[in-house]
Amino acid sequence: MAKNAEKDNLVGIRDSVRGCLVGIAVGDALGMPSEGMTRQDILKNFGRIIGFCDSQSRFSRGLAKGQWTDDTKLTIATVGGLIESVKSNAFGNLYVVGLAMFVNYIQALEEHQKRGFGKTTRESLTARMEGNNPFDGRFPTRPGNGCAMKSAILGIFSDLGALFNKDFGEYDEEELVIMVSMLTHNDSRSVVGAMLQAHIAGLFLFGWDLRNEDNFSWIYEQAKYYEDLVIKIPYVKDGTPKISEILAKIPPLLGATDELIADVLKTGGAVYESFPTALAYAIKYQDDFRSAVLAGANAGGDTDTIAAMTGALVGTRVGLSGIPDEWKRELEDYENIVSLADKLVDAVRDLPDGE
Ligand SMILES: [Mg+2]
């Protein structure tokens, strides 16, 4: 099925890319204070979360309202890696792109020790740095959501190339997402989650309505296709279902309460316990950024990452103009995040035209 381009004007594209990055940061900051709490603990400590709060989470102790965590930091590092690769004309060589990402991830980890970096990300980056090999795929095999949380922008980046008709050389979105994911996660389910997050962000960039059943079944088919594609990447055989099997539960849940969605799809740090929940909220509230990210922030469990993934998707669809102003005013580093989105768009626009 061809993507149906509706947003073909620069203002709309800029708004979407800004919305993606600010959407991640806003979702992350809303979920930051309650990361790791049960829904009952959230109610006891905050009532219902309706805006930014100071951290009460052991993962982000000391962070104040409006501040974000590793999800945003690693997304910023990813965007930086893309821009550097494009500007140095290295794009098309995935190893050069991967090296740029890796250096940025190491720097992010060192600068932001207290931002709740996931165990798998920390251990993988440290082991690869000590072994002098960013692409050494032997390290921790855990199905974390650390790839999906930073991958929306990879899908958008690919689609910017198509929207502006630019020459991306030998480059392929799927290969890029797999390579970037494997810098930190050596588990096929983590990689599939990232591929889906990237792909769906692209669909929202093009204005797809995912409440439409045919469009949702496209996502389901993509999930199965990606699972076949990464069949050689190992995973922990712990009896948990494939992501595609969990995604099949989403359509009948779209009319359910946010709490029931969290109970059925789960809210853990494993990608199969948080990506489907984030996606369900993003589809349920695809035109309502506020409700979408607050559903994630109040879901319990890995709240910052769930709200960040939801925020990336809905932020792309509604654009920066669809994100509430009070959150833009109070968000850490807001201006820089907007400017980073513009730099990415401009870097792609400056590439030579395609055939
Ligand atoms: Mg986090």
What is the CA(48)–ligand 1 centre distance, in A?
20
What is the CA(99)–ligand 1 centre distance, in A?
23
Q: Which of 125-129, 213-217, 237-241 shows the lowest mean pLDDT across its residues?
A: 237-241
Q: In terms of residue numbers, what domain contains 192?
A: 10-348
What is the CA(117)–ligand 1 centre distance, in A?
6
What is the CA(55)–ligand 1 centre distance, in A?
12
**What CATH number did the domain enclosing 336 receive?**
1.10.4080.10
**Of 171, 148, 170, the residue nearest 158 (C-alpha):** 171
Of the two residues 95 and 254, the one the predictor is more confident about is 254
What is the CA(116)–ligand 1 centre distance, in A?
5
What is the CA(69)–ligand 1 centre distance, in A?
5
What is the CA(307)–ligand 1 centre distance, in A?
10
The pTM assigned to this predicted structure is: 0.95
Q: Quick one: pLDDT band at residue 301, thresholds 50, 70, 90?
A: very high
What is the CA(62)–ligand 1 centre distance, in A?
14
pLDDT digits (tens, 9 = 90+) for 54-82: 999 999 999 999 999 999 999 999 999 99
Q: Is residue 238 part of a domain?
A: yes
What is the CA(168)–ligand 1 centre distance, in A?
32
What is the number of structural domains in the chain? 1
Rounded mean pLDDT, 5-17: 80
Rounded mean pLDDT, 209-214: 94
What gap in Å lies between CA 200 and CA 267, rounded to an integer? 20
Q: Is residue 2 part of a domain?
A: no
What gap in Å lies between CA 61 and CA 50, rounded to an integer? 20
149, 75 in Cβ contact below 8 A? yes
Q: Quick one: pLDDT band at residue 2, thresholds 50, 70, 90?
A: very low
What is the CA(165)–ligand 1 centre distance, in A?
35
What is the CA(188)–ligand 1 centre distance, in A?
21
Phi, psi of 231 (to 5 degrees): -60, -25
What pLDDT is stored for residue 3 in this prediction?
46
What is the CA(354)–ligand 1 centre distance, in A?
38
Provide, rounded to the nearest whole percent, the portion of the chain with pLDDT above 70. Answer: 97
Q: Is residue 355 part of a domain?
A: no
What is the CA(26)–ligand 1 centre distance, in A?
12
Q: Is residue 354 part of a domain?
A: no
- DSSP sequence for 27-48: HHHHHGGGTT--HHHHHHHHSS
Q: Is residue 202 part of a domain?
A: yes
What average pLDDT does the chain have?
93
DSSP 8-state symbol, 188: H
pLDDT for residue 128 is more than 50 = yes
What is the CA(106)–ligand 1 centre distance, in A?
16
Q: What residues pair up with 353 in beta bridges, in sequence order?
A: 166
CA 117 to chain centre: 15
pLDDT digits (tens, 9 = 90+) for 237-288: 778 889 999 999 999 999 999 999 999 999 999 999 999 999 999 999 999 9
What is the CA(146)–ligand 1 centre distance, in A?
9
What is the CA(79)–ligand 1 centre distance, in A?
17
What is the CA(274)–ligand 1 centre distance, in A?
12
What gap in Å lies between CA 260 and CA 262, rounded to an integer? 5
Q: Is residue 140 part of a domain?
A: yes
Q: Is residue 329 part of a domain?
A: yes
pLDDT for residue 8 is more than 60 = no
Q: Is residue 3 part of a domain?
A: no
* Position 165, amino acid: N
**Of 235, 95, 121, the residue nearest 179 (C-alpha):** 95
